[in-house]
């Protein structure tokens, strides 16, 4: 039993002699009192303002004029919906509804062009197929 006690004492002594390294064994890990995200998440108000600014810049570049009051309200609505969509899970039903609403509002502002289908590839006529088969 004395051997067991000395082993415990030895391991305690080894632990005491080894100073604990801050930041883990590499020194690059978590440090006390240092935030991993010092700026933090942007406030919702600032995120929406950023979307509004980007949309207004795009609008002015496309139409070479400032938006009217009604267009500004629509731009603000689109920015709010974009911000809401970013904070929602991708598979939620609400996210799909917001996508549709954003697309519709951008189209009404003239900032998004509705996707068009590509022209179908021309189909060979029956005669062409028969000619190819006989050659």
Q: Is the pTM of this model over 0.85?
A: no
What are the sequence ranges of the domains in the chain?
Answer: 44-109
**30-70 per-position pLDDT tens digit:** 877 777 777 777 888 999 999 999 999 999 999 999 999 99
Each residue's pLDDT tens digit, 80-133: 998 888 887 767 788 888 889 999 999 999 987 655 566 777 777 777 778 777
Confidence class for position 28, pLDDT limits 50, 70, 90: confident
- Residue 50 CA to chain centroid, in angstroms? 14
């Amino acid at each position: 039993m004395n051997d067991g006690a000395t082993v415990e004492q030895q391991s305690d002594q080894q632990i005491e002699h080894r100073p604990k390294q801050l930041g883990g064994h590499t020194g690059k890990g978590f440090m006390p009192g240092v935030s991993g995200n010092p700026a933090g998440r942007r406030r919702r108000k600032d995120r929406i303002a950023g979307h509004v600014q980007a949309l207004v810049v795009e609008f002015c570049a496309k139409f070479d004029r400032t938006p009217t009051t009604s267009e500004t309200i629509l731009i603000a609505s689109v920015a709010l919906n974009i911000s809401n969509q970013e904070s929602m899970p991708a598979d939620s039903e609400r996210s799909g509804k917001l996508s549709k609403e954003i697309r519709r509002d951008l189209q009404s502002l003239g900032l998004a062009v509705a996707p068009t289908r590509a022209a179908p590839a021309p189909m060979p006529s029956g005669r062409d197929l028969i000619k190819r088969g006989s050659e």
